[in-house]
């Protein structure tokens, strides 16, 4: 009897312990996930709901027949369980689809059926079709890094560039295999790339470098005038490169991004995105934001370049010499994340400009990052802290007020980047807030840090008008 009592007590304590641990984990996860990566290409938190739905899920068009509502129930397999996070129309019974989602973050069955290349709809505004670009444009090196990418998606990225880029402006495509493990990315890839021989350089890293250092490796091997970075699951659209190169030709400190169209992760349908600009919040989460009406007014209307406080990071073009002169990337940042905001701040604060060009469009698969990416989360925190300490000055307090825990997290040695900032003679973050991004929400809106008053408050409209003129873009 006493033994039974002890056993009951023991089991009870164990259950209580497990529950407490689970609760703690849940709480911890919530805290950390605020700093977790956002889907960088589409996260339109500030846009109205309809617009958000459109660019983040592409819900305007009905999904194709492959997708059925069939959520797993209690006895779902262990593999299927994480897919519950998708919480939307999804065929949970097709195991190939399920495994594909877990492995690659999108519908592999459809990707395979699409094969190496396909035609995508021309999503540009009609006015773009009438635009002419100079015959003499700089040449471009397209840099595509990949780690464990789905073969067909990667191949479509390369072949769409080959098909839709005039070869006189395409210096080369540099593929950087960041230590992928999947077999089909080895000899099979070499074999298939043979048809593009002469235009392709394939570099394989001998350890996993992460996106940031993999891009640096690609850039160091490039010889084109302009570096164009693409993710390894993109499809470019008609006349995508010319607007980017023409803008850089006019101003070598101009960094430009295409509009990133959505390739739906479930259907792989190519859908147009609305015109948006890139911004971020005090948690340093990138998001898409509405464009000011004046940005799409005038003769050029919706083809007019959009001034963007930040870039999503996956796809942009920048003169090669300018990339080097401006300090490339912070090579001590890990894996993925944060580098897009760091570069955006560096561009604006150190004499450059960042624009989105509506007449250039590139589709990107919005992967569903379903599996837990603890390593990535850690890297994003580390990378963000590096940028906070190098670029935010006294405004770093705004970040710490919201996440006090971050004050004590190590971020490595930043002396080289601080020195770079000095050498480049960059302006302050206060200047950036006043001049480029006055809308960054101030701490008054949040429960923490009410005491901080922002100097740009009340200056919004005059500054914007003033800068509308200041940053008038030389059109092509």
318 CB-near residues (< 8 Å, 6+ apart): 226, 227, 248, 255, 256
180: left (phi over 0), alpha (psi -120 to 50) or beta: beta
**Using CB under 5 A, which of the segments 6-14, 28-36, 92-100, 224-232 binds Mn ion?**
224-232
100 contact, one of Mn ion, ligand UDP, none, CB 5-8 Å limit per kind: none
| Smallest gap from residue 377 Cβ to Mn ion (A) | 17
437 contact, one of ligand UDP, Mn ion, none, CB 5-8 Å limit per kind: none
Nearer to ligand UDP, 39 or 351 (CB): 39
Nearer to ligand UDP, 217 or 424 (CB): 217
What does the block give as tokens for 294?
């004046």
Distance CA 219, CA 165 (A): 20
| Smallest gap from residue 337 Cβ to Mn ion (A) | 12
| Smallest gap from residue 231 Cβ to ligand UDP (A) | 4
Beta bridge mates, 142: 173, 228
**Using CB under 5 A, which of the segments 127-135, 145-153, 229-237, 250-258 binds Mn ion?**
229-237
Nearer to ligand UDP, 206 or 447 (CB): 206
| Smallest gap from residue 386 Cβ to Mn ion (A) | 22
Distance CA 57, CA 74 (A): 27
Helices (H) and strands (E) in the chain, counts: 16, 14
Is beta strand 200-204 parallel, antiparallel or unpaired with respect to 170-177? parallel
Nearer to ligand UDP, 39 or 72 (CB): 39
* C-alpha dihedral sign at 310, 471, 305, 223: negative
Pick the closest to residue 353 from 455, 284, 250 (CA basis): 250
Distance CA 403, CA 398 (A): 9
Out of 37, 178, 231, 264, the residue judged to bind Mn ion by CB under 5 A: 231
Q: Is 136 exposed, middle or buried (0-12, 13-18, 19+ CB in 10 A)?
A: exposed
277 contact, one of Mn ion, ligand UDP, none, CB 5-8 Å limit per kind: none
**Using CB under 5 A, which of the segments 169-177, 219-227, 231-239, 389-397 binds Mn ion?**
231-239
Cα R_g (the chain), whole angstroms: 24
DSSP-based three-state secondary structure for 38: coil
Pick the closest to residue 146 from 96, 223, 217 (CA basis): 217
| Smallest gap from residue 430 Cβ to ligand UDP (A) | 29
225 contact, one of Mn ion, ligand UDP, none, CB 5-8 Å limit per kind: none
Is beta strand 234-236 parallel, antiparallel or unpaired with respect to 353-365? antiparallel
Q: Is-contact 158 175, C-beta < 8 A?
A: yes
Nearer to ligand UDP, 38 or 435 (CB): 38
210 contact, one of ligand UDP, Mn ion, none, CB 5-8 Å limit per kind: ligand UDP
Nearer to ligand UDP, 295 or 342 (CB): 342
Which residues ranging from 128 to 187 are in contact with Mn ion (CB under 5 A)? Answer: none
426 contact, one of ligand UDP, Mn ion, none, CB 5-8 Å limit per kind: none
Nearer to Mn ion, 177 or 231 (CB): 231
The 10 Å CB-count burial string (b at 16+, else e) for 429-447 is beebbbbbbbbbebbeebe
The 10 Å CB-count burial string (b at 16+, else e) for 381-411 is bbbbbbbbbbbbeebbebbbbbbeebeeeeb
| Smallest gap from residue 320 Cβ to Mn ion (A) | 23
| Smallest gap from residue 363 Cβ to ligand UDP (A) | 12
| Smallest gap from residue 23 Cβ to ligand UDP (A) | 30
336 contact, one of ligand UDP, Mn ion, none, CB 5-8 Å limit per kind: ligand UDP
Nearer to Mn ion, 231 or 295 (CB): 231
349 contact, one of ligand UDP, Mn ion, none, CB 5-8 Å limit per kind: none
Phi, psi (degrees; rounded to nearest 5) at 88: -160, 180
Nearer to Mn ion, 262 or 414 (CB): 262
399 CB-near residues (< 8 Å, 6+ apart): 282, 283, 284, 388, 392, 406
| Smallest gap from residue 149 Cβ to ligand UDP (A) | 5
Nearer to ligand UDP, 372 or 445 (CB): 372
| Smallest gap from residue 114 Cβ to ligand UDP (A) | 18
Q: Count CB-CB contacts under 10 A for residue 65.
A: 8
Residue ranges binding ligand UDP (CB under 6 A): 39-41, 145-147, 149, 178, 210-211, 214, 231-232, 314, 335-336, 367
Nearer to ligand UDP, 255 or 263 (CB): 263
DSSP-based three-state secondary structure for 335: coil
Nearer to Mn ion, 314 or 438 (CB): 314
143 contact, one of ligand UDP, Mn ion, none, CB 5-8 Å limit per kind: none
What does the block give as tokens for 469?
């003129």
178 contact, one of ligand UDP, Mn ion, none, CB 5-8 Å limit per kind: ligand UDP
137 contact, one of Mn ion, ligand UDP, none, CB 5-8 Å limit per kind: none
Instruction: List interacting residues with Mn ion (CB under 5 A).
Output: 231
């Amino acid at each position: 009897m006493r033994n039974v009592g002890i056993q009951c007590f023991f089991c009870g304590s164990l259950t209580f312990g497990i529950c407490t641990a689970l609760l703690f984990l849940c709480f911890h996860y919530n805290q950390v996930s605020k700093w977790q990566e956002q889907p960088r290409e589409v996260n339109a938190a500030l846009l109205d709901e309809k617009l958000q739905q459109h660019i983040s899920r592409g819900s305007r068009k009905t999904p194709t027949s492959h997708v059925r509502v069939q959520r797993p129930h209690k006895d779902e397999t262990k593999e299927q369980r994480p897919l519950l996070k998708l919480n939307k129309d999804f065929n949970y019974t097709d195991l190939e689809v399920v495994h594909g989602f877990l492995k690659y973050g999108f519908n592999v069955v459809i990707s395979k059926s699409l094969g190496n290349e396909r035609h995508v709809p021309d999503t540009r505004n009609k006015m773009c079709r009438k635009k002419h670009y100079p015959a003499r444009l700089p040449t471009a090196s397209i840099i595509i890094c990949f780690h464990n990418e789905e073969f067909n998606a990667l191949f479509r990225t390369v072949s769409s560039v080959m098909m839709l880029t005039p070869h006189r402006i395409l210096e080369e495509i540099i593929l950087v295999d960041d230590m992928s493990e999947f077999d089909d990315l080895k000899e099979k890839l070499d074999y298939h790339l043979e048809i593009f021989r002469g235009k392709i350089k394939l570099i394989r890293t001998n350890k996993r470098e992460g996106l940031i250092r993999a891009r640096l490796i690609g850039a160091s091997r490039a010889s084109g005038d302009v570096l164009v970075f693409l993710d390894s699951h993109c499809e470019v659209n008609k006349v995508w490169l010319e607007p980017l190169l023409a803008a850089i030709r006019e101003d070598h400190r101009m960094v430009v991004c295409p509009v990133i169209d959505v390739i739906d992760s479930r259907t792989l349908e190519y859908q147009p995105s609305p015109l948006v600009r890139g911004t971020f919040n005090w948690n340093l989460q990138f998001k898409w934001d509405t464009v000011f009406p004046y940005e799409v007014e005038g003769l050029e209307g919706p083809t007019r370049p959009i001034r963007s406080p930040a870039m999503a990071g996956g796809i942009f073009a920048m003169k090669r010499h300018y990339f080097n002169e401006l300090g490339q990337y912070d090579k001590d940042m890990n894996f993925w994340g944060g580098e897009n905001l760091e570069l955006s701040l560096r561009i604006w604060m150190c004499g450059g400009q960042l624009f989105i060009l509506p007449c250039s469009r590139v589709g990107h698969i919005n992967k569903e990052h379903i599996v837990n990416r603890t390593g990535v989360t850690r890297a994003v925190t580390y990378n963000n802290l590096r940028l906070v300490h190098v670029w935010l000055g006294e405004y770093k307090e705004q970040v710490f007020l919201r996440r006090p825990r971050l004050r004590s997290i190590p971020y490595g040695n930043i002396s080289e980047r601080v020195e770079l900032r000095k050498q480049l003679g960059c302006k302050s973050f206060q200047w950036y807030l006043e001049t480029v991004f006055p809308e960054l929400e101030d701490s008054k809106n949040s429960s923490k840090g009410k005491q901080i008053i922002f100097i740009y408050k009340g200056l919004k409209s005059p500054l914007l008008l003033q800068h509308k003129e200041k940053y008038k873009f030389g059109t092509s």
